[in-house]
Chain A
Amino acid sequence: MNFVLFHITVALYLLATFAYTSYLFSHNKKVSGISNKILVIGFLFHTVAIITRGVEAGHLPLTNLHESLSVFSWMTVVIYLSVNARYHIASLGSFVAPFALLLLITASFLPKEIVPLVPALESYWLYIHVPLAIFGNAFFAMSFLVGIMYLIQEHYLKSKKVGGLYFLLPSLDVLDELGYKCLTYGFPILTAAMITGAVWAEYAWGSYWSWEPRQVWSLITWFLYAALLHGRLTVGWRGKKAAIYTIAGFMILLGSFLIIKFLALGEHGRL
């Protein structure tokens, strides 16, 4: 059952991506409304798909890469929908929808079977640590997308070609603030994920910190974003510099994720 729902979700996100793209070209406000509606319907199917899978598995569907990517995609959409509800930036959807779709398509190529929990995952911390980790990453993904929008908008302003996407994208100030806001959520959540992960590791491996690859990479990400936040708050790294840094930070995060996953390094290899 969850597969059917999953594929309906993929189809709807694909449709939403087309709709948002046509919004970018048509500049028609109505189209953006329709795109949002399609995305919301897709999101509802996605929610039901995840719940159904959880019920079928008998545990939180966060135990392999297929499941985590699906939840990652879901959380990105959650963040977009709440941002849009407050700031009314439908053009952000043009970046979020394809991103969410890409995650789901990647997930669809991965092993999808529901497997029973291995002993190491048999813990309540699974229900706290993993969602936090994914949620934090979803905020970083969002800051990455906003960073790209910032660079595009900046390009329009610099080249003085006021046209194209210029009127659809929010102002540089709003984008800058939004990117920063994503970090102020992402960073504490990443920290919370690291702390809960440490507590779990203490119970499971006998040590809260063992320089395991995923731990080290999360620490690296933590250092990077800590540096960015300090640079922003006190030295005044703003605008383009912050946007480029945010994009680079997420690239590093994504790269480390893929390296650890596909070289199956450490105990985290399965997620």
Chain B
Amino acid sequence: MKKNEIESNQTIIDKAGNKIWNFFSSLKLIITVFLTLAVVSIIGTVIEQGKPPDFYTKEYGEKIAHYVLSIGFHDMYHSWWFLILLALLAANIIVCTIDRFPQKWETAIEKKYGAEPRFIKNLANSAHFTVSGDVHDIKIKVAERLKKKRYKIINADAADGASIYAWKGVIGRFGSDVTHVSLILILVGAIIGNFWGFRGYVSINENDAVNAPQADFKVRLDRFWIDYYNTGEVKQYNSLLTVIDNNKEILTKQIYVNEPLIYKGTWFYQSNYGVAYDRIREAQLILKNKKENKQIGEPFKVKWYEPFKIPGTNLTVNLVGFISDFGFDEKTKQIYARSLEHNNPAIAVVIYDGDKPISDSWLFLNYPDVFATIPNSDYNLTFMGYSGLYYTGLSVNNDPGTNIVWIGSILMTVGFIFAFMIFHKRIWVNIKRGENGVDIYMGGMINKNKILFEREFSELVESLKAKWEVGK
């Protein structure tokens, strides 16, 4: 290849590169992306997200549903084109920030002193007045006034006068850059969460421990309870959880809505609860005389799998089973739960005479005394009631990107404070000995919020004029 061919190839690449760069640094693109994101997000709220395909066919009909599904409007926030829009936003922000930064930096650090009256007169705000006195003395007084207003200043002396450059709030210029970086961080955090994060659900019965999903430790529910207001409305749902790691109880925490448990980066949230269908805490029973159907002694409570000796007898009861909605399949002779509702609660008990098991039967809350509960004896057991066993439903979440999102959020707040509350103000002063005294030329500029500065500048000028009693 000849030398100038290489060069011309180089220029083509350069030109193409420039074009791409210009495309991404254009403000029109960012506004278009912002508006497009807004519009498609609107569609995302109108069309319900993340439903099975049938749902859309039912809702919109075959034809429209086809489009919805093939474009990906049913799971928009995970669709490739939504991600491309976000990528475009990110690329745009990065390019714009890099593109504008050098010039901004120049303006920010540039310290223009020795400004001539001609330059000052052309500034957005400018003033000229004449005072009497010594040039050096006047310079110090003006500088003091500016320092009092928290301006940083540098000054220079010339043969026939002096000049001052004063500035403050440079950081305000970089508010947008900080905001842009923060937005990128938030996007990065969100993407990390999307790919490496995990969301799940686990339900735990009271006194049970389960393996935490996608983690190497266990969580036990010690207790679930509901707090009520005096009026009877629910105040709070609470779970007392214990983390068991390596067979050791690490920590116990009461969680409730708005107060999760956090262990090894996994968060557990109170999200659901219920009463177990296959277990209870305890049952209330009565022992009766079979012949006269008369109660013997006081009613008593039997705890789950804790054998209980009935006072005044030789009998021991062990509560070994529970079904909330008892069902019996005639064909297979199988016992099963018809539903999770407590429609037909039944308990299974084993009864011992001394050490010898004498009976193993189901007792029904809705049908007391229908079946002989202790065959071949004078006694009958009646199932009077029970206290159920709660289970808690926990959302489980592990999102390694969250902290990056928070850092981004804090940075964004800082960026906004810089951008919207701190303004770069610059003032140039030229002091020159003239025919009628000392001429003071003052001019100033602000990067935003011009009306605010206009007022501030004229106040400053007035206060200086007042000092030398100009116009009196």
A joins B in a complex: yes
Interface residues of A (CB under 8 A from B): 115-120, 122-123, 125, 173-174, 177, 181, 184-185, 187-188, 191-192, 195, 198-200, 202-209, 211, 213, 216-217, 219-220, 223-224, 226-227, 230-231, 233-235, 265
CB pair A177 B451 closer than 8 Å: yes
Docked CA distance A199–B413 (Å): 14
Docked CA distance A7–B448 (Å): 43
Query: Residues of B contacting A191 with CB < 8 Å?
Result: 412-413, 416
CB pair B236 A206 closer than 8 Å: no
Partner of A223, one of B35, B257, B260, B402: B35
Q: Could you say which of A115, A206, A220 has the most chain B C-beta atoms within 10 Å of its C-beta?
A: A206
With A174-B451, A206-B267, A220-B41 already in contact, the answer to whether A230 and B399 are too (CB < 8 A) is no
Contacts beyond the supplied A125-B258, A230-B27: 8 A-B pairs with Cβ under 8 Å: A115-B233, A192-B413, A202-B402, A206-B199, A216-B44, A223-B35, A227-B35, A227-B38
Can you list 16 pairs linking A and B with CB atoms under 8 Å apart? A117-B235, A119-B235, A119-B257, A173-B451, A181-B449, A185-B420, A187-B420, A188-B416, A203-B269, A206-B397, A207-B199, A211-B49, A216-B41, A224-B35, A227-B30, A227-B34
With A122-B258, A188-B420 already in contact, the answer to whether A206 and B269 are too (CB < 8 A) is yes
CB pair B402 A220 closer than 8 Å: no
Query: Is B37 an interface residue when CB atoms closer than 8 A count as contact?
Result: yes
CB distance from A118 to the nearest CB of B (A): 7
CB pair B27 A235 closer than 8 Å: yes
Query: Is B256 an interface residue when CB atoms closer than 8 A count as contact?
Result: yes
Interface residues of B in 242-269 (CB under 8 A from A): 256-260, 267, 269
With A119-B257, A223-B34 already in contact, the answer to whether A198 and B409 are too (CB < 8 A) is yes
Docked CA distance A235–B417 (Å): 22
Chain A interface, DSSP helix/strand/loop, else mixed: helix
Partner of A211, one of B77, B199, B397: B77
Query: Is B450 an interface residue when CB atoms closer than 8 A count as contact?
Result: yes
CB pair A213 B45 closer than 8 Å: yes
Query: Residues of B contacting A207 with CB < 8 Å?
Result: 199, 397, 399
Docked CA distance A234–B417 (Å): 19
CB distance from A185 to the nearest CB of B (A): 7
Query: Residues of B contacting A185 with CB < 8 Å?
Result: 420
Partner of A206, one of B38, B260, B416: B260
CB pair A195 B413 closer than 8 Å: yes
Docked CA distance A89–B271 (Å): 51
CB pair B258 A123 closer than 8 Å: yes
Query: Residues of B contacting A224 with CB < 8 Å?
Result: 34-35, 38
CB pair A234 B27 closer than 8 Å: yes
Q: Which residue of B lies closest to A260 (CB)?
A: B45
Query: Residues of B contacting A187 with CB < 8 Å?
Result: 416, 420
Docked CA distance A269–B47 (Å): 17
Query: Is B335 an interface residue when CB atoms closer than 8 A count as contact?
Result: no
Interface residues of B in 31-70 (CB under 8 A from A): 31, 34-35, 37-38, 41-42, 44-45, 49
Query: Residues of A contacting B217 with CB < 8 Å?
Result: none
CB pair A220 B267 closer than 8 Å: no
CB pair B233 A116 closer than 8 Å: yes
Query: Residues of A contacting B267 with CB < 8 Å?
Result: 206
Docked CA distance A3–B251 (Å): 48
Docked CA distance A119–B35 (Å): 37
Q: Could you say which of B28, B49, B256, B269 has the most chain A C-beta atoms within 10 Å of its C-beta?
A: B269
Query: Residues of A contacting B135 with CB < 8 Å?
Result: none
Q: Which residue of A lies closest to B447 (CB)?
A: A233
Q: Which residue of B lies closest to A118 (CB)?
A: B234
Query: Residues of A contacting B405 with CB < 8 Å?
Result: 198, 208
CB distance from B445 to the nearest CB of A (A): 16
Query: Is B190 an interface residue when CB atoms closer than 8 A count as contact?
Result: yes
Query: Is B332 an interface residue when CB atoms closer than 8 A count as contact?
Result: no
Query: Residues of A contacting B260 with CB < 8 Å?
Result: 203, 206
CB distance from B23 to the nearest CB of A (A): 16
Query: Residues of A contacting B196 with CB < 8 Å?
Result: none
CB pair A220 B38 closer than 8 Å: yes
Q: Which residue of B lies closest to A184 (CB)?
A: B420
With A192-B413, A206-B397, A220-B38 already in contact, the answer to whether A177 and B44 are too (CB < 8 A) is no
CB pair B45 A217 closer than 8 Å: yes
Query: Residues of B contacting A204 with CB < 8 Å?
Result: 257-258, 269
Query: Residues of A contacting B45 with CB < 8 Å?
Result: 213, 216-217, 265
CB pair B27 A223 closer than 8 Å: no
Query: Residues of A contacting B195 with CB < 8 Å?
Result: none
Query: Residues of A contacting B271 with CB < 8 Å?
Result: 206
Docked CA distance A174–B258 (Å): 45
Docked CA distance A174–B229 (Å): 53
Q: Which residue of B lies closest to A188 (CB)?
A: B416
CB distance from B395 to the nearest CB of A (A): 4
Query: Is B308 an interface residue when CB atoms closer than 8 A count as contact?
Result: no
Docked CA distance A258–B31 (Å): 26
Interface residues of B in 392-426 (CB under 8 A from A): 395-397, 399, 402, 405-406, 409, 412-413, 416-417, 420
Docked CA distance A207–B260 (Å): 11
Query: Residues of B contacting A226 with CB < 8 Å?
Result: 34
CB distance from B34 to the nearest CB of A (A): 4
